[in-house]
Amino acid sequence: MSAPIHISDHPLIQHKLARLRAVETKPPEFRDLIAAISRGLLFEATRDLPLRPVEVTTPLAQVTCREIGVRIGLVPVLRAGLGMAEAMLEALPEASVWHLGLYRDHATLKPVTYYNKLPARSDMDLALVLDPMLATGGSAIAAINILKQHGTPKVTFVGIIGAPEGRDALRSAHPDVPIVLAALDDRLNDIGYIVPGLGDAGDRQFGTI
């Protein structure tokens, strides 16, 4: 059986996604929106994390509480995943961050790996692969291949907008990997962009249009 695909219907995420898509939204606001949506998606993606008991002394009494029982890694796919990782790290400061540099060749649409900052030994229980756009799925699949070859036991993909083509490709390559998105759009156009989408997520974040 395949892992779940979760498309968030949270009103705050949908509200911010509308502004993120808008062509007039400039890089400073675009980055703020990526951050806000990512914080929301982090809560969705970590809903089933295992907890363990922890004893806490409040000013009044001792109480058994619960804390996260696994080591989590954030794996931003450069460049566009950087804003997602930064925002999630604020909510989960103990997470490690592993950077993976991949770009999509414009002619072939195939991912090219140019940077890999994984530590020598895998020490995380769950890796969240972060990339706002799941278009053909090639970049997500390549990033997850790298993590699995490196010995990462569990991986979740967290994106903002997906295309059906990317969802199907990722599902078929890595059926064990849950997918969390803010929206699943209609299709890819003939140059591999998601429609309606938001354009180029890296360029819009970093003002390189």
By the criterion CB under 6 A, which residues form the site for ligand URA? 80, 133, 135, 193-194, 197, 200-202
Q: Which of 40, 76, 83, 166 binds ligand PRP (CB under 6 A)?
A: 166
Q: Which of 104, 136, 156, 185 is catalytic?
A: 104
Buried b (16+ CB within 10 A) or exposed e, 115-125: eeebeeebebb
What does the chain come to in residues?
A: 209
To ligand PRP, the closest distance from the beta carbon of 14 in angstroms equals: 21
To ligand PRP, the closest distance from the beta carbon of 121 in angstroms equals: 26
Q: Which of 34, 85, 130, 133 binds ligand PRP (CB under 6 A)?
A: 133
Q: Which of 105, 108, 123, 176 is catalytic?
A: 108
Q: Which of 19, 32, 125, 203 is catalytic?
A: 203
d(C-alpha 209, C-alpha 193), whole Å: 15
Long-range contacts of 94-100 (CB under 8 A, 24+ apart): 96/71, 96/72, 96/123, 96/124, 97/73, 98/73, 98/74, 98/127, 99/75, 100/75, 100/76, 100/143, 100/146
To ligand PRP, the closest distance from the beta carbon of 83 in angstroms equals: 10
d(C-alpha 86, C-alpha 76), whole Å: 9
Residue 108 appears among annotated catalytic residues = yes
Q: Which of 79, 148, 150, 171 binds ligand PRP (CB under 6 A)?
A: 79
Bond from prior residue into 79 cis (ω within 30 degrees of 0): yes
Please give the positions annotated as active site: 104, 108, 200, 203
Give the interface with ligand PRP as residue ranges (CB under 6 A). Answer: 77-80, 102-104, 109, 111, 131-140, 166, 192, 200-202
